[in-house]
Homo-oligomer: A and B are copies of this chain.
């Protein structure tokens, strides 16, 4: 990232700075006092104030006021952006979108600073499920864990803490499931083991314990084997895709979908 910054430029200086950024399709940020007109799907006017104006490298345009999540004016994509000086002594930036036809005009009275440069970003963005969502999915579809499993409770309170999922296997033996959406450590095994001990003490029955996670540290597996705890790997990416397709289709096709 190589940024160029100008401070308190004259509008002439700012103009050539902005034009160069637009021409090179650089990331451009302008701080200054401006007023705005928008015409398109709706139309709006914004009287003068200090704001941050952004043009992204694909031509997306944002105008942000000092507060609030949302830009006060914007253009998700633009067919053209041009800047010029007006006789009134303002610097005008016009951003036009073609479909739908929309025009955004930003009139700068003065500019305090401007930044431009090329940003490199090849990062990968991944959206995961929250643990609660995974829990609910398994609650609705116990077959994700094991054939014949019946889950009767989620977030079951036990003396200390909560059991994520509780139920009975096909032979009627109680099953305690501890769920992690991140790689499971020895810690998670210990937690589950505590639940098992507590349950046994309280009900006099020895339950199975299954640790469910996307992956397991070596130490977790060692500990699990020592304590007779089972573990089951789940693929969160797959769950995510499933959830999306489920929302479109029907819930009851889920077990089948996942069982091969």
Inter-chain CA distance A51–B41, complex, in Å, is 30
Instruction: Output the least CB separation between A12 and chain B (Å).
Output: 20
A198 within 8 A of partner (CB):
no
Known contacts A112-B3, A115-B31: A125-B64 contact under CB 8 Å: no
Inter-chain CA distance A55–B201, complex, in Å, is 52
A interface residues (Cβ-Cβ under 8 A, vs B): 1, 3, 5, 7, 27, 29, 31-33, 35, 39-52, 54, 56-58, 60, 62, 64-69, 72, 74-77, 112-113, 115, 117-130, 133, 181-182, 236, 240
> Quick check: B128 and A43 within 8 Å, CB to CB?
yes
> Quick check: B126 and A44 within 8 Å, CB to CB?
yes
> Quick check: B57 and A1 within 8 Å, CB to CB?
no
20 cross-chain CB contacts under 8 A: A1-B31, A1-B50, A1-B112, A5-B7, A41-B182, A42-B127, A42-B181, A44-B127, A45-B128, A47-B123, A47-B125, A49-B119, A50-B119, A51-B121, A56-B69, A65-B119, A65-B121, A65-B123, A66-B121, A69-B74
> Quick check: A56 and B47 within 8 Å, CB to CB?
no
- The 10 A-B pairs with the shortest beta carbon distances in the complex, nearest first, are A49-B121, A49-B123, A66-B119, A69-B76, A58-B67, A50-B119, A47-B123, A57-B66, A43-B128, A60-B69
**Residue from B44, B125, B181 in contact with A125 in the complex, judged by beta carbons closer than 8 Å:** B44
> Quick check: A130 and B43 within 8 Å, CB to CB?
yes
> Quick check: B46 and A123 within 8 Å, CB to CB?
yes
**Residue from B32, B66, B112, B240 in contact with A56 in the complex, judged by beta carbons closer than 8 Å:** B66
Inter-chain CA distance A44–B237, complex, in Å, is 12
Known contacts A56-B68, A113-B115: A3-B29 contact under CB 8 Å: no
Known contacts A44-B126, A45-B125, A46-B124; 5 further A-B pairs (Cβ under 8 A): A1-B112, A27-B66, A47-B124, A49-B120, A69-B77
Inter-chain CA distance A69–B72, complex, in Å, is 13
